[in-house]
Amino acid sequence: MKIKLLGYEAEVEWISPKQTSSFVSHDSIESIGVWFTFDEPVSSTIGFGIEIPPREYTEEEFKRVIIAGGERALQGIIDQHKKEKLAAEKRDEQRKKLNKLVADLGEKLDIPFRLNTK
């Protein structure tokens, strides 16, 4: 089934029954797992899954529920990726500053130095 999530073309690759046990009540927690895939990476992601309540759905209800859940999950993935990218850029900038400090100090004091390359 083809759908759009946040404007991106996605496919519902599969659905599956999900059962997990609750350690608190020892009852089974049931849901329907839905797996989405993209032809092209969206924020470095080519697929992800969500869970929806287990019940009968019309086609339109099913689409509405999975699109809403899929868009929430995809937005979370995009936001997390942006956060991680900014953190990596910050670490890279800090590494460059520290490398420069060490290189300048090593040259000034005539001490061999090694720079952080990662």
CA distances from 93 to 82, 90, 104 (A): 16, 5, 17
Q: What is the model's pLDDT at position 19?
A: 83
Q: What is the model's pLDDT at position 117?
A: 83
Q: What is the model's pLDDT at position 46?
A: 98
Can you list the residues of the chain whose pLDDT is less than 70?
Answer: 22-27
Q: What is the model's pLDDT at position 29?
A: 75
Model confidence pTM above 0.85? no
Q: What is the model's pLDDT at position 56?
A: 97
Q: Residue 114 corresponds to which amino acid?
A: R
- Cα dihedral 40, 42, 45, 50, rounded to 10, equals -110
Q: What is the model's pLDDT at position 118?
A: 76
CB distance 99 to 113 below 8 Å: no
Q: Cα(67)–Cα(7) distance, rounded to whole angstroms?
A: 11
Q: What is the model's pLDDT at position 73?
A: 98
Q: What is the model's pLDDT at position 84?
A: 96
Q: What is the model's pLDDT at position 63?
A: 98
The domain spans of the chain are 2-109
Q: What is the model's pLDDT at position 62?
A: 98
